[in-house]
Structures are given as structure tokens and as C-alpha cells.
Amino acid sequence: MGTFGSGRNNSATARSVPILGPVPTATNPSPVPSVPPTASSSASPLRRPGFRWYFAGQTVSLLGSSMAPVALAFAVLDASAQVGDLGLVLAARMLPMLGFLLVGGVVADLLPRGLVLVTAHLGAALTQGASAVLLLTGHYSPWSLAALGLLNGALGAFTSPALRGLVPELVAKGELQRANALLGTVRNGTKVFGPALSGVLVVAVGGGVAIAIDALGYLLAAAFLARIPAPAGRAPSPAPRHLGRELREGWDAFWHTSWLWPVTLAFCAVNLVNTGSWQVLGPRLTADLSSPATWGLVLSVRGAGMLVGSSLLYRLTVRRFLLWGQLAVVLNALPLLALGTRLSVPWLVAAAFVAGVGVSVSAIAWETSLHEHVPTEVLSRVAAYDDLFSYLAIPVGLLAVGPLGHGFGAHQVTTVSGLLFVVIALLPLAAPAVRRLPRAAPER
């Protein structure tokens, strides 16, 4: 599920490995846990060594990645002063991610997910390092950054399904909400400090330094992820399998999960109207309202709201988690409406904080629902279909928002985007399967 203003945080050939047994669906959930299923919901996932290394790798990687968007946005705008160039660079990353996502899901279900992640992080370190060199040496061109973005997007297509499929291998089902809350906490904590630090670096030494730090973060994260032990219960079978059949099995599991596809399709429409307005028009409108540094402040405060939301969910248990998560999505429209209606900076900052809480609740509810109700052996493929449809419209939105803003006015486009966001986010609640999805009982 694409979340407000973010993507969900890569190239290989799938080995022909079978999936044992029938294709599980929502009516036939039969995941085999890779960890002893004796933990209660009150146990800390950090007591498991595999999850500790995963947690450390994510912490380092996310800190660098939280600095990159601010650095990249202002590096491009300072170099070209063309909003369309920023849209081109951002869209270039999305296109190969969409093209390879399904293959990435197959690879992550068939190969060791830790190996996929280490390889992808090493590749991302190279692409981000090359981007930093271009910016630091003054050899910027939108096409060179877009080309590196294409490579980075291809790597991301393999990273996301592997990340989302690995957590249930590292913790027991009763620990999943706490594990996702911990991961959300570190993700959101980096969004508090990362953008602010990046804003200071942009003013002091330029955006290339923040991009270079992101590249180093990928290297260190790869070292941590390499320490994750191989999970039990995923031994390959000698029987050959074909990519087409693997994709069909993933599609069957996705489509027959009746609560999953309504939310995914809604987020496809949400990302169409939201991502371009926030990522492309947001920095410019915020700079016009106050100064470029205010954009970093807004992102940091939004991260603080996300941190509060994830911290609360580490302790609280929500019965209809998906229902409340979908209601929380609506809060993400507030900063768009604040920007579009030209509210003052304090109102914009307050809206960003509330939206951050909504982001965290909706994201943790979604990931926990996937982990609890989708079997592990097909989880990465289901997550890949989820990502594909959620992100499908993002390049269109990124490329279209510049001309739309020029033709109709940036404030008007942002306001309409916020209103459409509210309507679309509420549509999945018309499906009883979304409203009534229960929490899965922990294994005994």
C-alpha cells in the first residue's frame, strides 16, 4: 500500500523453485512459521537475533533515505529551476520499479529473502554514490540523474517484496504488530531527524553530501542484513517452475483475498492525485509560503507524528485494525488542503503532524493485516501485486502535475487533490470484508 508522500521502503533472474502444496488464499491460510510459535503478543521481537539484524539494517538504510528526498528536490531545483525536471527524475525511478515488481515478488518467494536484500542494497549503494558524484562535481543533468534513477528503481522492485515478506520469517505471529510498530518507529524517527539534517546540509554544503550519506547507509545496511540467519522451512524442491505459473499463483492469492484488492485499487487512485502534488508542488508552495528550509521542517514534523503513531501501536491492540487503519488514511489529506488554501506555516505544520499519525496507523495496520492473513510462501508475490497497483499511477501523477499546476494554478491543483484524496480513501470501507477483517489469533 502506498502511503502519503512515500514509497515503500531490486535485478536478478528467478531460480526455478517450486512452491509446495496448493496455492493458499484468504480462505485457506496455512503459513508455516519459521520461528517457534510460542511467543505471546507481549513479547519483544528484538529478543530474536534475526529480527535484531533486520532492525539494525533498516535503521541505517532509512536514515540515509530520509535525507535523500529533500537533498534531491533542492539539488534539482537549484540546478535547473524547472519543476518538470524534478518530476522527470522522480518518475524515472518509478517506471522500472513498476516493470520489475512482479518478478521481484517471485524472486523473493523462491530465493532466500536475505540474499535478495543484500544484493539489492549493494546495487543501491552504487547508484546513489554515482548520483552524489554527479552532484558534488557539478556535472548535473536531469537525464543523467534520471538514468541512475532507472537503475535504482529496478533495484527497488526486488527490495520491497523481500522486505515485506521477511518479517513473518523472523518473528512469531503474536509478535507481528509489535515488530511492525518497532519498524514503523525507527522509520518515523529517521523522518524526524533526516529531513531537518538534510535541509541543513543543503544550505551548508549542497545536496550531494546527503545523497553520499545515503549511499554509505546502503553499504552498512547490507552488512547488517547479511547477518540474518537463513529461515527454516524454505528448502527448495528439484521440480522446475516457470515465471508465468509463479505469477498466476501470486495473482490467485491476491485476487481471492477479498479485503486486499479494494484497498490496493483505492491507493492506486490516491497516489495518482496525491504524490505529484505533494512531492513536486509541495516544496515550491512551501518555499513561496516561507522559505526552502520550511519544507524540511514540515517533513520532520510529519515524521514526528508518524513516530507518535507507531509508538502508541507498540502498546495498543486494535480489534478491527484494517478498519481503523483505513479511517486514519483520510488524515493524510490535511497538509494538501493546508497548502492549497494558503494556510499559514503553523497550520501547515500542525496538519503535517496529524497526517503523520495517520500515515503510521494506516501503514502498520496494513502490513500487520498482510502478515497475519497472507501465507508466507506467497506473501512476497502478493506484496508485489499490492505495490504494483498501488504505485501504478504515480509516474502519471508526477509527470502531469507540472503542466496542470501551470495551467490551472498550483494552489488549485493541490486543493482538488486533497479533496479527491478524502473521497477515494473512504471508498474501500464500502466492502464488508475491509470493515470486518478480524485480528488473527497467535499460534499456540
Give the tens place of pLDDT for each residue, 277-320. Answer: 888 888 888 877 777 778 878 887 888 888 888 888 887 777 88
Most confident of 76-85, 158-167, 228-237: 158-167
More confident residue, 276 or 423: 423
Nearest to 143 by CA among 95, 80, 93, 85: 85
Nearest to 348 by CA among 418, 257, 261: 418
- pTM for this structure? 0.70
Cell 496507523 found at: 361
Cβ atoms of 189 and 279 closer than 8 Å: no
**28 pLDDT above the threshold of 80:** no
User: Phi then psi for 257, rounded to 5 degrees?
Assistant: -95, 95
Q: Which of the four pLDDT bands, split at 50, 70 and 90, describes residue 55? A: very high
Cβ atoms of 39 and 171 closer than 8 Å: yes
The arithmetic mean of pLDDT across residues 218-227, rounded, is 91
More confident residue, 138 or 369: 369
Nearest to 70 by CA among 162, 236, 198: 198
The arithmetic mean of pLDDT across residues 78-88, rounded, is 67
Please give the Cα distance from 333 to 342 (Å, whole number): 14
**1 pLDDT above the threshold of 60:** no
The arithmetic mean of pLDDT across residues 64-92, rounded, is 72
DSSP letter at 430 equals G
The arithmetic mean of pLDDT across residues 422-436, rounded, is 91
- Please name the residues in contact with 123: beta carbons below 8 A apart, sequence gap of 6 or more: 10, 11, 151, 155
DSSP letter at 6 equals B
Nearest to 361 by CA among 311, 301, 319: 311
Please give the Cα distance from 51 to 57 (Å, whole number): 10
pLDDT value of position 20: 26
Residue 35: alpha-carbon gap to chain centroid: 25
The arithmetic mean of pLDDT across residues 132-140, rounded, is 79
pLDDT value of position 397: 84
Please give the Cα distance from 209 to 216 (Å, whole number): 11
Q: Which of the four pLDDT bands, split at 50, 70 and 90, describes residue 35? A: very low
User: Phi then psi for 6, rounded to 5 degrees?
Assistant: -150, 160
Please give the Cα distance from 161 to 14 (Å, whole number): 14
Cβ atoms of 142 and 89 closer than 8 Å: yes
pLDDT value of position 69: 77
Q: Which of the four pLDDT bands, split at 50, 70 and 90, describes residue 186? A: confident
User: Phi then psi for 121, rounded to 5 degrees?
Assistant: -70, -35
How far CA 409 is from CA of 288, 406, 416, in Å, comes to 14, 6, 11
DSSP letter at 3 equals B
pLDDT value of position 327: 92
pLDDT value of position 12: 28
More confident residue, 20 or 263: 263
Cell 510498530 found at: 181
pLDDT digit string, tens, across residues 402-423: 888 788 888 888 899 889 999 9
pLDDT value of position 32: 36
Cβ atoms of 418 and 337 closer than 8 Å: yes
More confident residue, 390 or 138: 390
Q: Which of the four pLDDT bands, split at 50, 70 and 90, describes residue 377? A: confident
- Per DSSP, helices labelled H in 281-342 are 282-289, 292-315, 321-329, 334-340
More confident residue, 275 or 442: 275
C-alpha cell, 167 = 518479517
Residue 65: alpha-carbon gap to chain centroid: 11
pLDDT value of position 29: 38
Q: Which of the four pLDDT bands, split at 50, 70 and 90, describes residue 240? A: low
The SS3 call for residue 374 is coil
Asked which of 115-129, 206-220, 373-387 is least confident by mean pLDDT, the reply is 206-220
pLDDT digit string, tens, across residues 154-170: 888 888 888 888 888 88
More confident residue, 39 or 253: 253
Rg (the chain; Cα; Å)? 21
pLDDT value of position 42: 58
More confident residue, 142 or 232: 142
Most confident of 56-65, 182-191, 260-269, 293-302: 260-269
pLDDT value of position 318: 78
Most confident of 184-193, 253-262, 400-409: 253-262
Amino acid in position 1: M
pLDDT value of position 220: 92
Angle at 434 between CA 428 and CA 435, to 5 degrees: 100
Cβ atoms of 311 and 363 closer than 8 Å: no
How far CA 327 is from CA of 228, 267, 363, 432, in Å, comes to 35, 13, 12, 14
The SS3 call for residue 49 is helix
C-alpha cell, 374 = 497472507
pLDDT digit string, tens, across residues 325-338: 899 999 999 999 99
pLDDT value of position 443: 53
Average pLDDT, the chain: 79
C-alpha cell, 43 = 513479547
Task: Provide the Cα torsion 317, 318, 322, 324; round to 10°.
Answer: -130
Most confident of 7-11, 85-89, 425-429: 425-429
